[in-house]
Amino acid sequence: MDMIFDQARIAVNRHRARLHHDPKATFLLDIAAEELGERLAVVERTFEHAVELHGATGAAARAAIATGKVRQLTRVESEHAYAEAGEAIIEAALEEVPLEPQSANLVLAPLSLHLTNDTPGVFIQIRRALKPDGLFLAAIPGSGTLQELREILLATEIEMTGGASPRVIPFADVRDVGGLMQRAGFALPVIDAETYTVRYDSIFPLMKDLRAMGMTNPLLARSRKPLTRAFFLRAAEIYAERYADPDGRIRATFSIIYVSGWAPHESQQKPLRPGSAKVRLADALKVEEHKLKQ
């Protein structure tokens, strides 16, 4: 397994973001929570025991409860300080799913699975924690996220130093996530993506939001040399040159992959075996063509 992320740094980033909570910087979690809530609302069943994994603000948990589909919900976080007044949570590291096998009917994972080194293992842990016919819903930042910032930081570093180090984390695409769902053994997976464009006055409020999200560089291969103010001033100039709208504000792209899948159960619809179709596709097309001519 390739180690990409510094889990100790991620814990520090998330802890600092929690201490200096900025409600304006939680917009991505709010968007993801609303979307997950809407997807849960159309599922025609009630979930006895739901779990939210590392949702930070608890927005996804609240959205799930608001649907009326969840009877009991437990939150899992990296530290107890995430708990609201009177709330009990389970403490666990980001890559751990501290649930007994087949103990949950619903697992929600809002914007945390992109920071795991053993992502296939985490998906497998989630599937094992679900009861048969239990539901997994996730929101995962996907490819295209912060593509402008990635390009700008790379161009600035090459211009000013002649070299470059990774500054923005890699994000999975829809196909990668589909492969993870299949590998973990989820049934009836549905995967799609939404892209959101956020505008800022300059690179500086964008970087401030990323710090408030706990998303400063957690890569193991990151340079430990601090970046200078001159670097960011030049980066701001290049960003404005390449990605500014007519009013001078810059664009930042965030792509979120939404995932749903079920723990296998005998009652679920099964795909037909290859060769078991009663009518050949070619014959069906001929019938349709004949109807059109009539």
Q: Is 100 part of a structural domain of the chain?
A: yes
Q: Is 284 part of a structural domain of the chain?
A: no
pLDDT, mean of residues 162-178 = 94
* Residue 273 confidence class, pLDDT cut points 50, 70, 90: low
Q: Is 48 part of a structural domain of the chain?
A: yes
| Average predicted confidence (pLDDT) for the chain | 92
Predicted pLDDT at 106? 98
Q: How many CB atoms lie within 10 A of CB 30?
A: 15
Q: Is 163 part of a structural domain of the chain?
A: no
How confident is the model over 64-110, as pLDDT tens digits? 999 999 999 999 999 999 998 778 899 999 999 999 999 999 999 99
Predicted pLDDT at 34? 98
pLDDT reading at 24 higher than 70 = yes
Q: How many CB atoms lie within 10 A of CB 250?
A: 23
Q: Is 215 part of a structural domain of the chain?
A: no
How confident is the model over 202-220, as pLDDT tens digits? 999 999 999 999 999 999 9
Predicted pLDDT at 98? 97
Please report which helix (H) or strand (E) contains residue 13, including its range: helix 7-19
Residue 18, domain extent: 7-146+170-199+254-264
Sign of the CA dihedral with 201 first, then 202, 205, and 207 last: positive
Predicted pLDDT at 271? 57
**CA dist list (Å): 3 to 92, 115, 173, 254:** 19, 11, 19, 24
Predicted pLDDT at 274? 54
> Which CATH number is 84's domain given?
3.40.50.150
pLDDT reading at 291 higher than 60 = no
Q: 3-class SS at 119? A: helix
| Token digits of residue 31 | 């968007």
Predicted pLDDT at 54? 97
Please state whether beta strands 89-91 and 104-110 pair in parallel, antiparallel, or not at all (unpaired): unpaired
Share of the chain above pLDDT 90, in %: 83
Q: Which has more pLDDT, 278 or 237?
A: 237
Q: Is 70 part of a structural domain of the chain?
A: yes
Spatial neighbors of 276 by CB under 8 A, at least 6 apart, are none
Predicted pLDDT at 269? 72
- With contact defined as beta carbons under 8 Å apart, do 235 and 153 qualify? yes
Number of domains forming the structure of the chain = 1
Q: Is 224 part of a structural domain of the chain?
A: no
Q: Is 110 part of a structural domain of the chain?
A: yes
Predicted pLDDT at 87? 85
How confident is the model over 32-61, as pLDDT tens digits? 999 999 999 999 999 999 999 999 999 999
**CA dist list (Å): 205 to 24, 198, 211, 212, 221:** 11, 11, 10, 10, 25
| pTM flag (> 0.85) | yes
Q: Which has more pLDDT, 62 or 291?
A: 62
